């Protein structure tokens, strides 16, 4: 019996172990992640999402604005607190094919939406959990495609975690953006977001319709000691005015789990 169990576990790829530990980590944090189609979100959940979004965002933040943004994605990710079933974070994403090719493979981009997280849960790295979950799920769903994950950083808080996932997350302070990643960023901004008139290619910065409320995005002198945060502020000094730093990451097991 013991031999059979050991034989079974030795056949499991190392990445599966990482996925199991990842799920256990949510459980230990008393968090529960749900993934569902945009079409299957009930009205109660939708209003909870809007309340949280409106609480943290400023700019065009009416309910109609929220629905327009919400309905532009395919998949919703919700994080609840297991102890009281409170919605503590939400985001969305879609997988969009492109005309680009990498090593003869067609390129698709995971377009991630804004993540809105209750302030009391922000130290629990929920944004990083959302990112890793969507990356892992879509890598399994598209095993032979060339995938890239895109995100608009409307404030600095999510960027250090993103840059820390892999040394191949761009742009970053310690090395220039490679040609292929720059092509993906350009395609994402110009062909998916259609932001031709408000794209600073040199800085990888775009203008968005919403911005984070100032009380949730203050950059302190202490936080500027982090080189990723310092880089974010240098690239996107006007983030409180609705500007966002565009990030891109090649979605492969090698790039995601390598430093």
d(CA 256, CA 66): 31
Q: What are phi and psi of 210, to 5 degrees?
A: -125, 160
C-alpha 31/C-alpha 84 separation (Å) is 10
H/E stretch holding 152: strand 146-153
Kindly report, residue by residue over 183-241, the tens digit of the pLDDT.
Answer: 999 999 999 999 988 999 999 999 998 888 888 888 999 999 999 999 999 999 999 99
Q: What's the CA dihedral at 50, 54, 60, 66 to 10 degrees?
A: -10
Q: What is the distance between the alpha carbons of residues 127 and 200, in angstroms, rounded to a whole number?
A: 25
Residue-level pLDDT at 5: 36
pLDDT of residue 229: 96
pLDDT value of residue 26: 53
> Which residues on adjacent β-strands are paired with residue 108?
97, 147
Element at 176 (helix H, strand E):
none
Residues in the chain with pLDDT values less than 50: 1-21, 24
Q: Give the start-to-end residue ranges of the domains of the chain.
A: 90-257
Cα Rg for the chain, rounded, in angstroms? Answer: 19
CB 114, CB 154: distance < 8 Å: yes
Res 127: pLDDT: 84
Q: Using CA atoms, how far apart are residues 201 and 184, in angstroms rounded to an integer?
A: 12
Model's pTM, two decimal places? 0.85
């Amino acid at each position: 019996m013991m031999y059979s169990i050991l034989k079974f576990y030795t056949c499991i790829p190392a990445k599966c172990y990482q996925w199991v530990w990842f799920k256990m980590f949510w459980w230990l944090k008393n968090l529960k992640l749900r993934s569902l189609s945009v079409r299957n979100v009930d009205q109660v959940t939708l209003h909870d999402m809007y309340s949280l979004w409106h609480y943290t965002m400023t700019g065009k933040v009416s309910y109609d604005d929220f629905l327009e943004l919400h309905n532009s994605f395919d998949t919703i990710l919700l994080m609840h607190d297991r102890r009281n079933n409170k919605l503590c974070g939400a985001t969305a994403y879609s997988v969009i094919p492109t005309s680009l090719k990498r090593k003869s493979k067609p390129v698709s981009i995971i377009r991630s939406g804004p993540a809105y997280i209750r302030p009391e849960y922000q130290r629990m790295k929920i944004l990083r959990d959302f990112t890793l979950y969507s990356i892992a799920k879509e890598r399994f769903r598209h095993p032979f495609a060339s995938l890239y994950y895109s995100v608009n950083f409307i404030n600095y808080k999510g960027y250090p975690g993103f840059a820390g996932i892999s040394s191949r997350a761009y742009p970053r302070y310690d090395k220039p953006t490679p040609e292929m990643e720059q092509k993906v960023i350009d395609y994402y901004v110009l062909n998916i977001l259609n932001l031709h008139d408000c794209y600073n290619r040199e800085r990888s910065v775009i203008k968005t319709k919403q911005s984070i409320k100032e009380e949730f995005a203050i950059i302190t002198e202490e936080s500027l000691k982090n080189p990723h945060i310092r880089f974010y502020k240098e690239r996107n000094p006007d983030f409180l005015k609705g500007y966002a730093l565009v990030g891109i990451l090649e979605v492969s097991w090698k790039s995601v789990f390598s430093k």
